[in-house]
Every structure is written in C-alpha cells, then in structure tokens.
A and B are shown apart, each in its own frame.
Chain A
Amino acid sequence: MARNAVILAGGQCKWGVREAHLVDLFQEAAKACFDDIPTLKPKDVDGLIVASSYAGRCSFQVNTAPVIAERVGVKPTSICTRCDTLCAGGSTGIILAMGLVQAGAADIVMVAGGEKLYTPQKWEVFYSELASVDHDWDGVHGMGLPPPFFALTAQEHMMHYGTTKEQLAAVSVANYNYATTNPVAQMQKALTLEEAMNAPVVVPPLTLYDCCPITDGAAVCIITTDEIARKFTDRPLVYIRGTAQVCLNSVSANFPGVHLADWKHTRIAAEKAYTRAKVSASDIKVAQTHDCFSISEVIEVEDLGFCKKGEGGEFCGSKQIEIGGKVPINTDGGLLACGHPFGATGIRQGTEIMKQLQGRARHQVKDADIGLTHNLSGANAEHTILIYGKEPVK
C-alpha cells in the first residue's frame, strides 16, 4: 500500500536585513514551524533536509545538515543531508522528503531552508553571486548577478509580445500589496502603480520594484504521511499530488527556448507535474510563482498554462493574478515583497499554499482545493513545480 505525503506544518522567521547569524535564522524558523503544530515535538522528527546554497560563501559553513540539526534540536535517524539547488532548494527538499516518506524510508522529515546573504561588507554578496552560474563560462562575464540576465529576458518578451512596462509594474503592485499585512515579509509597504512606474532604474527596463531584494531568512516545514499527520492534527490535510524538476541547460548559450522569454523547461516541468497530479492548469485555484523579477511572473503565467503564450503581460495587467481573478498568485507577497533567501523560498511558498488549502491564509482564496508552487533557479537553468491538493491522487 503506497503512502501519501502531506505537508503538516510550516513557518518562517522575519525576513530582511537581519542582525543574526545563519544558524540563528534556522532556529527562529524551526520555532515558527513547531508553533504552527504544537502537538509535534523536535524528538518526533526523524529526518532533516537542509536547503542552503550560500552558507559556504557567506557564513564559511559547509556540511550544514548536522550543524543545523544540532542547533534546531532534532536528532535525525532516517536522513540528514543538505541539498543545493539555489533558489529552488526548499522545493527540492520537499520533493526529496516526499519521496522518502512515500517510500517508507523516513516518517517525519523537517525541510529547513535559509541563507544569510548580508555580510559585513556588502560587496561580497555581489561577488559571491557570480558563483551561482557556471563559473568559467558565465560567471566570468559578470553574469551571476541576476538583474542583467532578467533585463535581457524582459527585453525579449517586450520585443516578441509587445509587453509593456506598466504590465510589469502591475505584478509588483499586486505582490507588494499582498505583503502589507504579512509581518514576516521583508517589504511591508503599499505600492502604487505610479510609484512602481517612476522607480529608479536597476538595469533597463527593470526598475527597483521589478527586482526582488537581497534577503536574510529561513523557513521550515514538516513533510510526513497522511496517516502520521492525523495523529498530530485535526486540520484538513494538504497532499503533495505531483512534482517535477527540469534542467535542460546551465550555460546561457544553451538556453532551451528560441529566445530568453520562451521557457520551454517551465512548460515541460508543468506538463509533468500536472500529469502526475492528475490535474490541468485550469484546476489551479491559487499559485506561488517565482517572481524574482516582475517579468518572471509574466512569463510563468504563460508557460504554466494559466494564459496563452505572449499574453502574460495582459493577464497580469488585468488583475487576473489577484483575489477574484483567474489564478490569485503570490498571496503572501511573493519573492518581490517577502524577499528571497534562496533555499527558504520554496518552503515559504509551500507553507502559503498549505494555509490556502486549509482555509487559514491571510488573503484567503475562496474554496481553494488545488495549489501550485513554482521555482526557477540559477540563470534560469532549473524549473521546479509542486502541486498540492486537499485530496491524494487516486
């Protein structure tokens, strides 16, 4: 009899510029997670997956899993390891935890992601980011820093599909405004379209609010089976119905689409995840996309199948991503407003979808029963999708 994986609980610490060490952030996030499920204790956890990509560069700490296990007070007896897929690390950790609990190789797995990116000298962050891509072929051209790459992507979307700067700004406005009530988001300021349109230039056509900030932070969630989860909670269970992670290239010269705004790898990941979850794009009631840049969300709504290719600008600009629209997206603020401590993001996303499906989200989408999270990582190299539902796949 196959076991079904569920996400039982989740929490994060305050994200932003934190006066804290990396392991402090992990402890705070673990506390937030156990606060979310008070019946569960650290001693119940038998597996730990740590998602952190910059610990080695920014905190001089590699081999993070045992360090984090000790600090958060868990004693894993099934698995204790780190995964390093940068922006998708948290999502990758959940996929791995799902597989372990479904297979019976672990029962209750903590997935903990976090990064401490602000160093005492800020220039080190920009320098370290060059390590996010193929060092010898892209990093050496100064391409590790994401804004130039996504500025090229935005230009190509505008060239091929007529997307406007105003449509990009609409994404930032929607996501910022969701975060105004989120106490753990990095940005909690209401944003007007006018402010977004008149913001300082980062790399044209991207301006300040088109780009997610640099962030310190951590998030933790618990993956287990439905049977075990029922011992700890009366809440509706949130099943992981289907997942996919697709990587077709790393070096920018081998980008898989016909141009930078054509995300073939997103489409393949979506198709696989939908098939495994036995749902289609039209079943998704609420989503968390990887809005590292406003243009990313515009392209994601297309390549996830929420609208036709090329119509993402119109879809986002006409409030289809807001509550009452076709697919409310990033209802906690997304990367743009919550911030993006790489390994933590997928866990924040999964936690928000869990709360939406349990009817306890801050900006609740009515009758949400199927939700999706999506991460891209590196210079748009990997795409990771998880589909959650109130029922298991039958």
Chain B
Amino acid sequence: MAVLGIPILEDLYPSTMDMWPLEAKEFNRNWMFYENLKQGRLTTTKCKDCGLVSYPPRVICPECYSENLEYIDLPKKGKVIVFSEEVKGVPLGFQSPLIHAVIDLGVDPARRVLSRITNCAAGTLQRGDEVQLAVFPVPALPIDKGKLGTIMSERVFFAFEPVKK
C-alpha cells in the first residue's frame, strides 16, 4: 500500500538506504571490479608506474598518485584465520547466522581480507578451513535517465563459502 510522502512505501528505490555498492559506471569509477566479479573473477588494481597493488581497487595510486592502473586477479581460494558467528541481532538484509572470517588469500596485500562466509551452517566452520569466492546476484539498481526513462543496472556481490571437503 502506497503511503504518500514515504517513497520507500511508494515502490520507489531509495539508494540512500541501499546496502549494496552503486556498481554502475554512471556512479562508480571502480565499475570494472564489478564487471570482473560478474565473470567470477576477484580483482584489484595495480599501479603500472610504481608497481603498488592496492586492495580495494583505486582510481588513483595512493603511493605515487599515478592514474595509470590496471586490474589484476586475486586468488579465489583462501584459508580461514579466525571467524565469528552472529546468530541474533543480524542487521536487515542479512540472514542468520551471519558469519565473518579473516581470510588469507596468500598474496599481498590480501593476506587478511575480512569477508562474509555464505552457504555455511552455524557451527560447521573451523579455523584453517579452505574457502572459495562465491559471487551472487543482488537487487538491480534503478537509474533515472531522464527522458530515456529508468534503466535497471544489474548487480552482483561476493562473499566466500566453504570448499566442499
């Protein structure tokens, strides 16, 4: 039922309440990260001038301020260093259990990446377990293009999931 004056209840999409990144190239110069993710690749940027690999990706090298960057692949598998399981008080948009882990992807600077662990029942994960990249679709972003109308920009995001033993 639409309630006037409250857009969230008028079937409009309030992106200021959006828990997902604005991945579209209209709003994010890191859009290649998300395009790569749609291909199942976890990537980040490397500076072609000074060689610095940054995670997360950048549009300008934080070391030498060069704009001459390229996307490189990060490993898709890693090992769990520590993890936490949240059962109660999980925020809107997440299912219980909400599991977080510090994952070693084995390369710098991604030796301690903090990620959500999905497709994993409570009480089953262990330290040292191998996990792999899990890419999943998230709600498309409606973008107002003026006279052209509203387009739907498809989106994905990632977590890690246990590798079946």
Indicate whether B35 reaches chain A with its CB closer than 8 angstroms.
no
Are A142 and B90 touching (Cβ within 8 A)? yes
Are A126 and B157 touching (Cβ within 8 A)? no
Alpha-carbon distance A123/B88, docked complex (angstroms): 12
Are A204 and B85 touching (Cβ within 8 A)? yes
Are A152 and B56 touching (Cβ within 8 A)? no
Are B91 and A145 touching (Cβ within 8 A)? yes
Q: B95 → chain A, closest Cβ, in Å?
A: 10
Alpha-carbon distance A138/B90, docked complex (angstroms): 15
Indicate whether B65 reaches chain A with its CB closer than 8 angstroms.
no
Query: B residues 88-123 with Cβ under 8 Å of A?
Result: 88-94, 98, 100, 102, 109-110, 112-116
Alpha-carbon distance A130/B90, docked complex (angstroms): 11
Indicate whether B135 reaches chain A with its CB closer than 8 angstroms.
no
Are B91 and A155 touching (Cβ within 8 A)? no
Query: A residues 102-124 with Cβ under 8 Å of B?
Result: 123
Stretch at the interface among A27-35, A249-257, A294-302, A352-360: A249-257
Are A156 and B92 touching (Cβ within 8 A)? no
Alpha-carbon distance A135/B21, docked complex (angstroms): 7
By a CB distance below 8 angstroms, the chain A residues around B94 are 142
Are B56 and A136 touching (Cβ within 8 A)? yes
By a CB distance below 8 angstroms, the chain B residues around A129 are 91
By a CB distance below 8 angstroms, the chain A residues around B110 are 253
Alpha-carbon distance A140/B115, docked complex (angstroms): 9
Are B92 and A126 touching (Cβ within 8 A)? yes
Are B91 and A136 touching (Cβ within 8 A)? no
Indicate whether B19 reaches chain A with its CB closer than 8 angstroms.
yes
- Interface SS, A side: helix
Indicate whether B159 reaches chain A with its CB closer than 8 angstroms.
yes
Alpha-carbon distance A253/B103, docked complex (angstroms): 9
Are A152 and B55 touching (Cβ within 8 A)? no
Are A140 and B82 touching (Cβ within 8 A)? no
Q: A240 → chain B, closest Cβ, in Å?
A: 32
Name B98's contact: one of A148, A156, A202 (CB within 8 Å): A148
Indicate whether B126 reaches chain A with its CB closer than 8 angstroms.
no
By a CB distance below 8 angstroms, the chain A residues around B91 are 123, 126-127, 129-130, 142, 144-145
By a CB distance below 8 angstroms, the chain B residues around A145 are 86, 89, 91
Q: A4 → chain B, closest Cβ, in Å?
A: 38
By a CB distance below 8 angstroms, the chain B residues around A203 are 84-86
By a CB distance below 8 angstroms, the chain B residues around A253 are 55-56, 109-110, 112-114
Q: Please name 15 further chain A to chain B contacts, defined as beta carbons within 8 Å, in addition to the given A142-B91, A144-B91, A251-B56, sorted by A numbering.
A: A126-B92, A127-B92, A127-B93, A137-B56, A140-B157, A142-B100, A148-B84, A148-B100, A152-B102, A159-B82, A203-B84, A203-B86, A253-B56, A253-B114, A254-B55
Name B's A-contacting residues (CB within 8 A): 19-21, 55-56, 81-86, 88-94, 98, 100, 102, 109-110, 112-116, 157, 159
The 4 A-B residue pairs with the shortest CB-CB distance in the complex, in nearest-first order: A252-B114, A136-B21, A151-B84, A126-B91
